[in-house]
Amino acid sequence: EVQLEESGGGLVQPGGSLRLSCAASGFTFSEYLMRWVRQVPGMGPMWVSSITEDGSKTTYADSVKGRFTISRDNAKNTLHLQMNSLRAEDTAVYYCARVAADGTRGLDIWGRGTVVTVSS
Amino acid sequence: DIQMTQSPSSLSASVGDRVTITCRASQTVASYLSWYQQEPGKAPKLLISDASKLRSGVPSRFSGSRSGTDFTLTISSLQPEDFATYYCEQSYSTPLTFGGGTKLEI
């Protein structure tokens, strides 16, 4: 079964750090572009970051640029999001998602999400 | 940044109704427009990509279309499991952006 599973969320104080992970299974992870998307409950999703298949190119939303780092380990079928200098406004459910391989760029597989709460 | 204006924000309908949801892009996104369905407490589910390409396993009552920078999602005959929130997303250029959502209620 094609699956993504996030982990690493939790409660952290403002200014703190968290590292999210996303374990992929059931498909050839190294062949897919991947993204992180977050969502505040009751609001629409927001794109956070993307990474190419080989990890050579990364892009970020302005609101997280310089604080978050996306990476991947294709040998371990794992995607990461290192989040530093966390702010209250980073509180959200964080999803990893796979970009469809057919060129349409839709997000065809999503994890269940991991909750990040930034609060003192 | 490309703004995606989605309307209506909420919609009341009945089983069997035909409903249309619209997304307007502030500039061209070509056909890099996807539609997602989200049920409470779950991740979004991809319904349509490339503006009109129905994803595998998605019922044929869902359809998408494009006219310039205007995109529509149509559900031809609502079923009970269709009552959810729907989002559009442009993936033409970064930052990738989503519409504000349409909550479809009974």
Residue with tokens 């104080």: A13
- Selected for mutation to probe chain A from B46, B62, B73 (highest A CB count within 10 Å) is B46
Confidence label for A57 from pLDDT (cuts 50, 70 and 90): very high
Average pLDDT over residues B81-99: 96
Question: Which of A3, A6, A57, A107 has the highest number of chain B CBs within 10 A, making it the mutation to test binding with B?
Answer: A107
**What residues of chain B lie within 8 A of the CB of A110, using their CB?**
43-45
Long-range contacts of A37-43 (CB under 8 A, 24+ apart): A37/A94, A37/A95, A37/A96, A37/A97, A37/A107, A37/A110, A38/A90, A38/A92, A38/A93, A38/A94, A38/A95, A38/A116, A39/A92, A39/A93, A39/A95, A39/A113, A40/A91, A40/A92, A40/A93, A41/A93
Distance CA B104, CA B75 (A): 11
CB contact under 8 A, B32 and A100: no
Helix (H, G, I), strand (E, B) or coil at B28: coil
Burial grade of A41 (CB within 10 A; 0-12, 13-18, 19 or more): exposed
Residue-level pLDDT at A104: 86
Mean pLDDT of chain B: 97
Quickly count: other Cβ atoms within 10 Å of residue A66's Cβ.
9
Which residues of A are less than 8 Å from B48 in CB distance?
Answer: 106
* A106 with B97: Cβ contact below 8 A: no
Asked if pLDDT for residue B106 goes beyond 90, the answer is no
Reported as a single tens digit per residue, the pLDDT across A8-46 is: 999 999 999 999 999 999 999 999 999 999 999 999 999
Tokens 């996306």 map to which residue? A70
**How confident is the model over A63-112, as pLDDT tens digits?**
999 999 999 999 999 999 999 999 999 999 999 999 999 888 899 999 99
Calpha distance A57→A77 (Å, rounded) = 17
Nearest CA in chain A to B34: A106
